[in-house]
Every structure is written in C-alpha cells, then in structure tokens.
Amino acid sequence: MSPAQARQRFRGGARVPTAGWCRGWTQANLIAVPKSLRYDLLLFAHHNPRACPVLDVGEPGTWSTALFTGDLRTDLPGYRLYRDGAAVADLGEVVGEWREDLVPFLIGCSFTFERALLAAGVPVRHLEQGTNVPMYRTSVPCEAAGRLSGPLVVSMRPVPARLVRTAVQVSGRYPMVHGSPVHIGEPTVIGIRDLASPDFGDPVEVRDGEVPLFWACGVTPQAAIMASGVEYAIGHLPGHMAIMDVRDDDYRVP
Amino acid sequence: MSPAQARQRFRGGARVPTAGWCRGWTQANLIAVPKSLRYDLLLFAHHNPRACPVLDVGEPGTWSTALFTGDLRTDLPGYRLYRDGAAVADLGEVVGEWREDLVPFLIGCSFTFERALLAAGVPVRHLEQGTNVPMYRTSVPCEAAGRLSGPLVVSMRPVPARLVRTAVQVSGRYPMVHGSPVHIGEPTVIGIRDLASPDFGDPVEVRDGEVPLFWACGVTPQAAIMASGVEYAIGHLPGHMAIMDVRDDDYRVP
C-alpha cells in the first residue's frame, strides 16, 4: 500500500495503530503548536536530538509539508488534543481544531527501522501481536528549552539476548529516527515500574531469555506539552503515525 | 593558553584571527539576531546542518551561554555589525551595540578539526602562513527558512593529492563542526572564480600537486543576513572566533 492509499483509508475513518503499515515508507510523529511556541519547540528538539529528530516543519496554519503531501488534519488515523497541558480529547480528525496559528512539526519514529530489524532476524513483538508498541514516561528529564520541559518517553521492544547486539547495530544505522537504544535491560533504572502498564500504546509479552530494549520516542514532545502546561497543541494519537512520502532507506547511514 | 586567558587578551584589544589559538579548545562562529528572527535562524540552521551546526544558543539580551562563559560582547577579537543586510562596521567590541532583544547563536567552526588534520600529517596552509583561512561565497544556495536565504560559504584548505583521502576521513570524524568537505577540486564547479580573491579572510598559496578542499563554513549565516536584508545583526569578524569552554574532542565521533 502506498502512503497516499493509507492516508485515504485513515481519512475515510480507519482508526488503527500504523506499525507495519506501508512497509518501507517512513512514519512520523506529529506535534502542532501555536506559533508563539514554535521557537521553544524547535530549540527543545535541538537540545534533545535522540528523542526529537525533526524531519520536517510546516508553515503556520498549513497542513502539509514538503515530505508529507497529504492533509495533516485528516490523514492520520488518530489525534490527541491538548488544552492547558491536559489531553482533553482523542479525535479521528482535527479540521475544526487546526487553528490558523498552529505550526506542524514532524518528528522521526522508530517504526522506521523495524523493517531493518526484521530483515536482520530480530523479532518485533508488537508486530507479531498486531498491537501498538508500548511506550513509557521515564524518570530521565529532557533538556529544557524556554517554556518546554518534561520527561524522556521511550518505546520498548523485547529482544532475545543473543540478538541485542544486532538490534543495537541495526537501529544505530538510523540516527535520524532515534538510532540505537537509550537503555538496555532493567526498566527501573529509567523509572519504569511495570512493563505491563505502558503510559501509551499496548503491553507486549516479554519472554524468558529476552531483554527489554528502550528507544527514545517521538511522543516526548507531547509529554513536554503536558508537563509544561502548554495552552493548546495537537499531536498524533501515540502509535497512530503520519505516513510520509519518504522512504526508510532515506534515513539510513552507511 | 586557556580559553579564559585568550578571551582576556581579546578583551584587552588584541585583534587577530584565532586559527591556531588555544589548540584543543573549540572555536565557534557568532551570529546574534533580533528575537523576532531567532526561529527563522534556528530553522535555517536545521535545514543547513553542514554549514550551520548549532553548538549553543543564548537567551535574549544575554552575552554568555553554558558553553561560552566569557562575555560575547567583548571577548572575541573582532565583530561585524549589520544593518539592513549591509556590513556597516567592523568593531573590537560591541557592548553598546548589543541590543536587549539580541539572541546569540554559536555555530561550529572547522578550526576545530585542524589539530586532528595536523596530527594526521595533513598540512594546514593558513597556519603555516600565520594568516586567516580563506573563505568564499559559492553559487550553491542554502535551503531557505522563513525570511532567511543565501549562498553557502566555504573555507578552503589546499591538500597534497595523496593526503586528500586522509583529510576527508579525519574531518569526517567531526560532523558537528562541518565534517568532511562539501567539495573537492575545481573551484568553478561551486562558483568560485579566483582562489586568490577570497570573500572573507586571506588568500593562501596552492602549490603544484595540491587539491583545494572546501568545507562548509559558519560564516554562512552572515551571508544569509546580507542576502536577506536583515535589519540588525552582529557576527564575529570572519576568522576571529569565539573560543569556547569545550574541547575539540567533545565533537569527535568514534
């Protein structure tokens, strides 16, 4: 399925996590903030490049970018609306909510290297289960920028111990979409108490002999929106990504 | 000499190019713009990472940053003042010119990898000559951002043909301070007509058997300030850099 076809499905009402969709095409996190906050967000992304790699930025009030030619207001399968730092609604489209001063940022997503993980023989549990990837707020603070601060958010994939090295190497070849894991092993070290209760997405089974690997996650800006009490913002519903018009391989380094 | 000692010398009036100063300590380009332009500048840097790697950013109206603990208004050996896109004065200090709404950006500089070039046996001609590095406006356009557009500026170092590969590899280990060359060889390909007439800095001798190597240069934002008619900005005098409190090795990748 092409990105345009997938976006048409989402525009038509399909509301599903996008892991595994349009294999080979890059997926991205959306965060749209008022123009008055766009500098702080861009600086926050600069200060926290592992979590917030900026793939593209739109002009105020617009809903497409060079690398996403669809309609950012309708072509994702789910949205989350924030007011005064609180998530106030999950929506299927946000045409009425897309204020004229909103500036959309598209942030890299670790789904981008999942095809490469599979090709290297590393299983991806949430794809096997057909669920959303589990994501967690950590106790690791991001570097603040202006009004924005908040915790690092991570995604988790359990990997058989003998394949941890491979998973590190393969994901490390995609530095613009979170790169190698930020943490490997014991979840409590980064403040995660219970793997079975993710803050976003769905839990996945961790089998005997598997190690949890944690990657920086592009939901981190949404956690900062909440922690910083931002007056208005629109994000994607975690795991329900923007499917871009660029290929995963465009973000691979040699 | 420590960065603090060098900054004291510049504060005291020394007005010299900084190539070769404080070997091992990172040098940076300064560009300070009105707060109203800071988003465009940060986005311009994001769009043109080879030329404009952002090492640090200050708060509006301040004159030091986490990585530069001196006084940005006095502790560089030379400044260039811009009004309405024109360079209107070269100054030894800018205390009176440092408006309350100015936001200082520190941008990586290729001087950072010169020590590594020398250690690898690659000669650095402007250091041998004791002059400023030659810099040129090219015909290569940067990617625009908001009000900012302009040409890529490059620095040039002539390298013996048998050492070109080494120079590429060594500088490539410093991606945050321009990395490997953007062009190797024939200057006219990137719109440079006469190597003997640089747009900034001093000409250097290119000997028989040497190849000119061109690196993206942190003067690029100043070229954009000019090309875009920005109402007010302060840059360093090209080649007269901010000497930072971080080490060259901090920007080296394995």
B54 vs A38, A46, A57: nearest CB: A46
Strand segments (E) across B4-161: 25-34, 54-57, 79-83, 86-91, 102-108, 135-141, 151-160
> Given an 8 Å threshold on Cβ–Cβ distance, is A57 in contact with B46?
yes
Residues in chain B whose Cβ is within 8 Å of chain A: 38-39, 42-43, 46, 54, 57
Contacts of residue B54 in chain A, CB cutoff 8 Å?
46
Sign of the Cα torsion B83, B84, B85, B86 reads negative
Beta partners for A136? A154
pLDDT of residue B161: 97
Q: Which of B61, B80, B86, B230 is nearest to B145 (CA)?
A: B230
Tell me yes or no: is domain B112-216 CATH 3.40.50.10150: no
Q: Percent of chain B beyond pLDDT 90?
A: 98
Domain ranges in chain A are 3-109+228-251, 111-216
Cα angle: B131, vertex B12, B17; to 5 degrees: 15
The token pair at B245 is 């409190």
pLDDT at B253: 85
Q: Which backbone phi and psi does B139 adopt, to 5 degrees?
A: -90, 5
Nearest-CA distance B39 → chain A (Å): 5
| Residues of chain A neighbouring B46 (CB-CB closer than 8 A) | 42, 46, 54, 57
Q: A183, A171, A216, A232: which is closest to A50 by C-alpha?
A: A216
Ramachandran quadrant class, B101 (left: phi over 0; alpha: psi -120 to 50; beta: rest): alpha
- The pLDDT of residue B51: 98
Q: Which residues of A touch B38 (CB under 8 A)?
A: 39
Amino acid at B72: L
Size of interface A-B (CB pairs under 8 A): 17
A111-216: what CATH class?
alpha beta
Contact criterion met (CB < 8 Å) for A57 and B42: no
- Which residue ranges of chain A lie beneath pLDDT 70? none
The beta-carbon neighbor of A54 closest among B38, B46, B57 is B46
Contact A46 B43 (CB under 8 A): no
Q: Which residues of A touch B57 (CB under 8 A)?
A: 43, 46
Q: A39, A67, A106: which to substitute to probe chain B, counting the most B Cβ within 10 Å?
A: A39
Residue ranges of chain A whose CB lies within 8 Å of a chain B CB: 38-39, 42-43, 46, 54, 57
Closest-approach residue (CA) in chain A for B35: A39
Cβ of B84: how many Cβ atoms within 10 Å?
Answer: 10
**Which tens digit of pLDDT belongs to each residue from B113-127?**
999 999 999 999 999
CATH of segment(s) B3-110+229-249: 3.40.1640.10
* Residue A181 phi, psi (nearest 5): -60, 150
A54 CB neighbours in chain B (<8 A) are: 46
| Angstroms from A39 CA to nearest CA on chain B | 5
Alpha carbon distance A160, A213 (integer Å)? 10
Question: Closest-CA residue in chain B for A39?
Answer: B39
Contacts of A165 (CB under 8 A, 6+ apart): none
Q: Which residues of chain B have pLDDT under 70?
A: none
Nearest to A38 among B39, B54, B57 (CB): B39
Q: Mutate which of B33, B36, B42, B55 to test chain A, going by most A C-beta atoms within 10 A?
A: B42
Question: Which of B253, B249, B246 minimizes the C-alpha distance to B28?
Answer: B246
Residue in B closest to A54 by C-alpha: B46
Residue-wise pLDDT for B105-156, tens only, equals: 999 999 999 999 999 999 999 999 999 999 999 999 999 999 999 999 999 9
Instruction: Classify domain A3-109+228-251 at the CATH superfamily level.
Output: PSTPO5379-like (3.40.1640.10)
Count H helices, E strands: chain A? 6, 11
Q: How far is it, in rounded angstroms, from Cα A115 to Cα A92?
A: 27
A43 to chain B: nearest residue by CA? B42
Decide if A46 and B39 are in contact by the 8 Å CB cutoff: no
The residue of chain B with its CA nearest to that of A53 is B46
Structure tokens at A92: 């299927």
- Residues whose CB falls within 8 Å of the CB of residue B215, separated by 6 or more in sequence, listed in order: B110, B154, B155, B156, B157, B171, B178, B179, B180, B181, B182
DSSP string covering B76-109, please? SS-EEEEETTEEEEEES--TTT--TTEEEEEEE-
Residues B114/B127, Cβ–Cβ less than 8 Å? yes
- A141/A164 Cα distance (integer angstroms): 25
Q: Which residues of A touch B39 (CB under 8 A)?
A: 38-39, 42
**Contact criterion met (CB < 8 Å) for B46 and A38:** no
- Closest chain B residue to A45, measured at CA: B46
CB contact under 8 A, A54 and B38: no
Q: Do B38 and A38 touch (CB under 8 A)?
A: no
